[in-house]
Structure 1
Amino acid sequence: MKLYEIVVHQLKKAPQLVADNGELKKWVIIDLARNYDPELLKLLVDHPQLKEAFFVEVDGILVFKQEKFISFLEMKNYLNDSYTKYKNKVGFIINHKFLNQNNEVALVWPFKDCLLEGGQSREEQKKDEIFFNELLAQDEITQLLEPKVLTNAKVYDIEGEHRFKSFTRDAALNRKRELPLDTITDNLIIKGNNLLALHSLIKVFAAKVKLIYIDPPYNTGNDGFNYNDSFNQSTWLTFMKNRLEVAKALLHNDGAIFVQCDDHEQAYLKVLMDEVFGKENYRETIVVKTSTPSGVNAVNVKRGERLFKVKEYLLFYSKNPTYRFKPIYVKSNFNKNYRYEVKKVNNKYHVKDLKKVFKSDAELEEYVLKNPENIYSLEKNNKKAGEKIKAVIRQSQDIDDVIEYTNNFNQKVLIYKKGVFIPLKERLVKDNGKYYFGTLISDMWDDEIFQTNQNEGGVNLPGGKKPEKLLKRIMELTTNENDIVLDYHLGSGTTAAVAHKMNRQYIGVEQLDYKENDSVVRLQKVINGDPTGISKTINWQGGGSFTYLELKKYNQNFIESIASSTSTEELLKIWNQMKERSFLNYNVDIQRQDAAIQDFTALSLAEQKQFLFEILDKNQLYVNLSSLYDKDFKCTTNEIEVTKNFYNL
């Protein structure tokens, strides 16, 4: 039964809400909803589907989604008149209100309030997508986004591939990281549609993920985002919005998300993320230098057509406005003010000005970076210091000795000749076993993090693979060991590889097939001691494990077979299989289709494929958890056990 039919059936139980002609008094109901009428709310709560659709539970208290319920009833006015009238308004609402009812400024586009399944399985595949409208197709969306059955589970460790036995739930570790004791503590790689996988993860990892990093398709026209040409930008924004909304639900209250993009959609994506995560949770737009101004594009620059593209962006948002990142230092040019060697011998400080010892700045730099323990700069700009320490600084000008001062944080500060000694060891950055001078991180990352990443991990993803140094920096900025990291555009697996090496738990989701450059291939190399990327910097020696899972396909198998077909004969064989084993749309008449088979064969191959795509029921692309025991889907004993174990049923 459709959601609207359930609403009508349930509300008609109250005679005062029914007109003489048997129809509901819609505007009376809307008025009651605006006034939180107890009898109306009880009618809604009493039905489980209406309770789920129009209420949210907060600390055991049900909160009525008033605007959603009222909008739902108001929108239904159009159904009896003209779908076209309603369709023209699709996408032009903010939080279920039409723009003329709302004073906010927002990004709007056609089909904004729709859901795009985004079912690519290969980069070169191109298909028109179905937009499920959130109000007109709520039942279809609910079914589409149900948690999915899991299949083909296996575990990889230093000894290779193993049969899956059970998920690990380390209570001691979960207690330490303040997560529910039954939280899964295994690393996970999930193959399948990322939107559906994210909604499956909600059942297990809601509000538990500390960091989400994604490097989604940039919508440049040649990056694998091959969807409906007519609404390419609208399609991309809908695609991103659907996934960002569920990503937010997965984020820990003290979590953060980084989305990498370029100039093509950065401005639109920023406004979209303001809307999804809240402007108050916007932290930074980080500029990352990704290349140098050279190469074949010089011709375009000389013609005055466009400048060299040397940057990309990281949009950085948090779950809450109180979020704080972990300040880190990055490699920088040496500051020659760090020239004082200060040692304490027999309770007496000895200060040596190394500038007088070494003939050049290069010699000074080499010495202090090799012997940083007792090296300081003398900071004499102390205008912002407290009055107590200022008094000691004034006192020091008449004393030819170092004064020890204990500040309010019980830290020992060394004061000398009207200045404060700042230790070099706090600013050091270690890379590949060598120390470098560091400065506090800024929103311009123009150092070496995007160099020499082509061969990292032993996999190759032309134009798409991000360097391990970049992910290391993001994880150092936002996470601690054992925190959960998620990447639902995993690609060749850089995020998972870095998380594995840095002892973070990771969840990677990927739906495209990269064969020998797949993340599973890369992670096996990581476990075996992969020496590339950040391995030398952190002394990576190998080890660890991860669990591989797939969403159990049903109609998706037919989608992929259709997409890869190269002839009408192949498609006719698939059609015969579809008649026997697939789920078709309810209005498909198989006998009429067979009778018109000559019309089908007269179409172009692309049109034949599109026709077969359209008659498949998109709600049955993957097997829903609710169908786990349904004989039609033939779930094996192993699939049942893996699925029950994952969802902790």
Structure 2
Amino acid sequence: MPFIDTPETNALKSKVEKLLSEIPDFTDENKNLKINVIKDYADNGNAKLLEPLLKNPQTKKAFFTPVLDSFVFNTAKFKEFLEYSSACNSYSKYLGQKIGLYMGDLSLLDINEVVLNFPFKDCVLEGGQRKEDGLDTYYEYDDKKGEYEKKQSKRREVFYNEVLAQYEIDSLFSPKAFCNTKRYEKGKSEKCTKLNRDAELNKKRGLSEDTITDNLIIKGNNLLALHSLKKEFAGKVKLIYIDPPYNTRSPTADTFIYNNNFKDSTWLTFMRNRLEIGKKLLSKDGCLIIAIDENEHSYLGVLLHELFDTEYEIHNITIVHNPRGVQGTNFSYTNESAYFVIPKGKKSIVDRKIAPDEIEWRNLRDNGGESLRTDAKNCFYPIIVKNEKIVGFGEVLLDDRKHPKQEEKKDGYSYIYPIDIQGIERKWRYARQTVEGIKDLLRVKKVKNHLEIELGKNFGTFRTVWQDARYDANEYGKKLINDLVPNCPFSFPKSLWNVYDCLYSVVGKDKEAIILDFFGGSGTTAHAVEELNKNDNGKRQFILCEQMDYINTVTVPRVAEVQKRNEGGSFVYLELAKKNETALEQISDCKSLEELTELFDELCSKYFLHYNVRVKEFRKEIESERFKQLNLKQQKEMFSRMLDLNQLYVNTDDRHDKNTGLTEDDIAITEDFYQLAKDGE
């Protein structure tokens, strides 16, 4: 039965509000209850919610049903009461944010059966890839030619839930060990076994003193890299900027060197897995920016609303990045989009800078209604000018005597008063006590035979359409990166200034922010962070994740060269330590069945096999005529299925296992990264 206003119901409402308001997780900065968070706790049966409700006789009676010696929480009744409590002071029983479809008294958003559904939604997609073209190569024997013919196919994506149980996925997401770590500084690299933790910088950030402050570039599967970052950086990242694969429909598209032809449902799974963990890394005031084009724009929007809608605003920004256009059948595409996901109710976006030639100037002297000297006496004072530059401000003239001139000259200085050409005494737009704060926005302009003071704001609110010659991906993307890394294979990288302005819009005033990009690509995000720091002496920190092999031929060299040219900065390069991932790469590189067969013993002795693999039976199988009739691609798949997909990378807990191949230096950097020695582990 729906709740109605009665003294008993209102008393229960007061009791519930009091109990919940005492739990920090359930209130925002203004001490308002976070209804959607409480609902999530109710759905999950979280003890933080259930214990206080169960201990109080009034709430225990209302929301718990006695069963034998226990009490069962009535989740549906409690959530219905929350809806009532939130709406009982309004003119409708429905919450303002719950406009939409209802089934009876329940919003469809609150019914578990109504979801954004797509194939593999609840799966974990590896999205692993190391080759730039995203293709697996295999060779097929041509009987007519009497030779092997080279074949290629798109990589088969691994959905972990096809082969792993949930507890195994938990193990999969455990922190990974690191290897091959190097510190880059002034264009040179050296071995690194210890990371920097600047206590003074962390104090400014409001973070624990032992938080890592090094810039980081991590090679490895970005899903596993994100889970490895969780312990150190959860709740600390101010901005996540990503430029994920656009999932273009054209099989020849090469605008993004990545697996760029997922099915829509696969792409959504791929993104959901990564956004869910990325969200946990964001600070309370953290923001997310995702660059995207028309191919997955609408799908991504729906996904973002599902994952972030309760506590975030979602804005869609258009950026003209290719003024020449990419010709389609009906339209020439000149723009892409950027989704800005920012905390609700907060001023998260800073004011944009306006170019000097775009500033709109107006007279500092007021006009129109209430612009006279008598309307604001503290706005009538002289502005002191020398050589057509403002050098100071005089004191307010408090007497009522009429001032004779708009300009007075004394000892080589001009004293300019707010008097118009008719001799009417007016006022400046800013009072004497505030005008010095906007001195940089003022200029002196000579008009005929006298001087005027003008005001021009060099900042303004960011608009939803960004158009600037600097965003041209050819001029400030391809050409720029080729200057840093000659013969770079990226055909259409982002304009540096496109990314720069995106970052600036969020962290332009936060000089100590942590910025994460887990689709690191050619390193444009790191480059933009370096430019931000160079321009305002900031100490912003970047973290990049990239799994492709070009990280060592493009990303790292680019960032190292930028820091060298800027004469400052450093970063640490780390790799997720591979185990079975190395075996998969070896299988992929085989050019014939003979090479695969030669690899068999090494796979069995060195790597982790799937629990149901019987080595003797499999050996007989690969020697059979039936197996030889398969093409090389199929044979490789059979070999790949021998491996335990839960062991692609080395778990931190296994770092001392000699079978991992980790060196003493690898173990040292892993323990330092996770501070294992400090934790007594």
Q: Does 2:475 match 1:445?
A: no
Counterparts of 1:27-46 in structure 2, within 5 Å, are none
Supply the distance in 1 between the matched residues of 2:435 and 2:310 (Cα, whole angstroms).
37
Q: Secondary structure of the residue that 1:514 maps to in structure 2?
A: helix
Supply the distance in 1 between the matched residues of 2:259 and 2:341 (Cα, whole angstroms).
28
The aligned residue for residue 559 of structure 2 is 523
Q: Does 2:670 match 1:647?
A: no
The aligned residue for residue 629 of structure 1 is 656
The aligned residue for residue 35 of structure 2 is none
Counterparts of 1:113-512 in structure 2, within 5 Å, are 113-123=122-132, 124-125=134-135, 126-133=154-161, 137-158=165-186, 160-220=188-248, 221=251, 222=253, 223-226=256-259, 232-278=263-309, 280-293=311-324, 297=327, 305-319=329-343, 321-331=345-355, 334=358, 337-338=361-362, 348-349=382-383, 400-401=424-425, 403-404=427-428, 410=434, 423-424=455-456, 426-427=457-458, 440-451=461-472, 452-453=475-476, 454-457=478-481, 458-459=484-485, 460-479=488-507, 480-503=510-533, 504-512=540-548
Residues 575-600 of structure 1: per-residue CA shift (max 9 Å, x gap): 22111111111001111111111233
Amino acid at match of 1:495: T
Supply the distance in 1 between the matched residues of 2:357 and 2:197 (Cα, whole angstroms).
46
Aligned residues: 493
- TM superposition shift of 1:224: 4.8
Counterpart contact for 2:364–2:429, Cα < 8 Å: no
Q: 1:400 to 1:285 in 2, by over 3 A?
A: same
Supply the distance in 2 between the matched residues of 1:163 and 1:65 (Cα, whole angstroms).
58
Q: 1:422 to 1:317 in 2, by over 3 A?
A: farther
Q: 1:371 to 1:185 in 2, by over 3 A?
A: farther
Q: 1:371 to 1:398 in 2, by over 3 A?
A: closer
Residues 581-639 of structure 1: per-residue CA shift (max 9 Å, x gap): 11111001111111111233321111112222222111100000111122332432111
Q: Secondary structure of the residue that 1:593 maps to in structure 2?
A: helix
Q: 1:619 to 1:98 in 2, by over 3 A?
A: farther
Counterpart contact for 2:164–2:646, Cα < 8 Å: no
- TM superposition shift of 1:293: 4.2
The aligned residue for residue 582 of structure 2 is 557
The aligned residue for residue 50 of structure 1 is none
Q: 1:203 to 1:334 in 2, by over 3 A?
A: closer
Supply the distance in 2 between the matched residues of 1:100 and 1:271 (Cα, whole angstroms).
13
CA RMSD of aligned residues (A): 3.9
* Further displaced range: 400-409 or 580-589: 400-409
Supply the distance in 2 between the matched residues of 1:631 and 1:624 (Cα, whole angstroms).
13
Q: 1:209 to 1:294 in 2, by over 3 A?
A: closer
Supply the distance in 2 between the matched residues of 1:216 and 1:65 (Cα, whole angstroms).
42
Counterpart contact for 1:254–1:323, Cα < 8 Å: no
- TM superposition shift of 1:571: 1.9
Counterpart contact for 1:219–1:225, Cα < 8 Å: no
The aligned residue for residue 618 of structure 1 is 645
Residues 97-147 of structure 1: per-residue CA shift (max 9 Å, x gap): 998981796421011011111111113233223323499821121011110
Stretches of structure 2 lacking an aligned partner (at least 5 in a row) = 1-41, 52-72, 77-105, 136-153, 367-379, 392-417, 443-451, 534-539, 677-681
Residues 244-271 of structure 1: per-residue CA shift (max 9 Å, x gap): 0111111111111110110000000011
Amino acid at match of 2:331: L
The percent identity for this pair of structures is 36
Counterpart contact for 1:492–1:517, Cα < 8 Å: no
Q: Secondary structure of the residue that 1:528 maps to in structure 2?
A: helix
Question: With structure 1 as the length reference, what TM-score do the two structures score?
Answer: 0.68
Counterpart contact for 1:214–1:487, Cα < 8 Å: yes
Q: Does 2:629 match 1:602?
A: yes
Counterparts of 1:577-592 in structure 2, within 5 Å, are 577-592=602-617
Q: Secondary structure of the residue that 1:527 maps to in structure 2?
A: helix
Q: 1:605 to 1:498 in 2, by over 3 A?
A: same
Amino acid at match of 2:526: A
Q: 1:35 to 1:312 in 2, by over 3 A?
A: closer
Supply the distance in 1 between the matched residues of 2:592 and 2:43 (Cα, whole angstroms).
58
Q: 1:165 to 1:641 in 2, by over 3 A?
A: closer
Supply the distance in 2 between the matched residues of 1:617 and 1:286 (Cα, whole angstroms).
43
Counterparts of 1:61-76 in structure 2, within 5 Å, are none
Amino acid at match of 1:633: T
Q: Secondary structure of the residue that 1:108 maps to in structure 2?
A: coil
Which one of 113, 118, 121 corresponds to residue 109 of structure 1?
118
* Further displaced range: 247-256 or 606-615: 606-615
Q: 1:477 to 1:294 in 2, by over 3 A?
A: closer
Residues 496-526 of structure 1: per-residue CA shift (max 9 Å, x gap): 1121232321101100111674211101211
Q: 1:494 to 1:66 in 2, by over 3 A?
A: farther
Residues 65-120 of structure 1: per-residue CA shift (max 9 Å, x gap): 989xxxxxxxxxxxxxxxxxxxxxxxxxxxxx998981796421011011111111
Amino acid at match of 1:548: Y
Amino acid at match of 1:476: Y
Q: 1:110 to 1:406 in 2, by over 3 A?
A: same
Supply the distance in 1 between the matched residues of 2:664 and 2:494 (Cα, whole angstroms).
39
- TM superposition shift of 1:216: 0.6
- TM superposition shift of 1:332: 8.3
- TM superposition shift of 1:338: 4.3
